[in-house]
Copies of this chain bind each other. A is one copy, B any other.
Amino acid sequence: MSGSIVVVGIGPGDLAYLTPAARQAIESADVIFGYKTYLRLIDELAPDIPRQGSGMRQEVDRVNQVVDQARTGLRVALISSGDAGVYGMAGLVYEVLRERGDDDIEVEVIPGVSALNAAAALLGAPLMTDFAAISLSDQLVPRDEILRRVDLAAQADFILCLYNPKGKKRVEPFELACQILARHRSPDTPVGLVRAAYRDKQEVEIITLAELPDAEVNMVTIVIAGNSQTSVYNGKMVTPRGYAHKYELK
């Protein structure tokens, strides 16, 4: 008898940004799995349902435990912060199921407000035209490939959302990415930094590309680097959609 797995994007953290569908999936689970820090964000939800927290870099173990539980017939909720489908846990669930040959376990992914949406809302309106999301973590993707993407994205004038920009010991990809951006964009290009969006320690800052290499940036900062059209208005980062070329705005 096979159970099911629901991979739940809980949004940035504050329950005001958790969708009713995500809440319902959590509350109707038999057991809840997740990274400890994220489980803490949903502490007050469904207190009677057993939960299994695990640490960072234990994703593969965690997903195998989730599959083990689902195999016994349980409905298992696996928590992802932001959107489960953007650098989240959804993919690993499918990868592990394929590897184990567990084709009959049903999987559902509940989308959430991803970190890039949350960061953009707090910064103003930086993502009004084409953008790219790149993770600078070279833990799972070769560094050269990451930097090649930064370079092509900069050439394409994409607004850039950088995930996991810098680790305690991993600073070089960030430094190199800053250098690449500096070759393609003006030093006064606005860059937004958002940490802990919609959580207690939220910090939102708008700096320039010239200031980026020395900015305080860590694993959980989302960096949004503007494109050639982005500017700052009234403390907000705004990329025009292009209406002004076509219409009288007032």
Contact = CB atoms under 8 A, between A and B. Distances in A.
Interface stretch (A48-56, A149-157, A201-209): A149-157
A236 B87 contact: no
Nearest to A113: B111
A99 interface: yes
A97 B241 CA distance: 14
A117 B82 CA distance: 10
Contacts of A156: 132, 148-149, 152-153
How many copies of this chain are found per oligomer?
Answer: 2
Interface stretch (A16-24, A30-38, A39-47, A212-220): A16-24
Interface residues of A, number: 86
Given A20-B18, A121-B111, A153-B152, A239 B130 contact: no
Contacts of A133: 130-132
Contacts of A158: 132, 149, 153
Given A17-B111, A18-B20, A156-B153, A121 B84 contact: yes
Contact of A243 (B59, B128, B135, B242): B59
Contacts of A92: 128, 241, 243
Nearest to A241: B91
Interface string A107-134: 1011111100110111011111111111
A11 B84 CA distance: 15
Interface string A206-250: 000000000000000000000000000110101111111111111
Interface of A: 9, 11-12, 14-21, 24, 59-60, 64, 83-88, 90-100, 103, 107, 109-114, 117-118, 120-122, 124-135, 139-141, 145-146, 148-149, 152-153, 155-158, 233-234, 236, 238-250
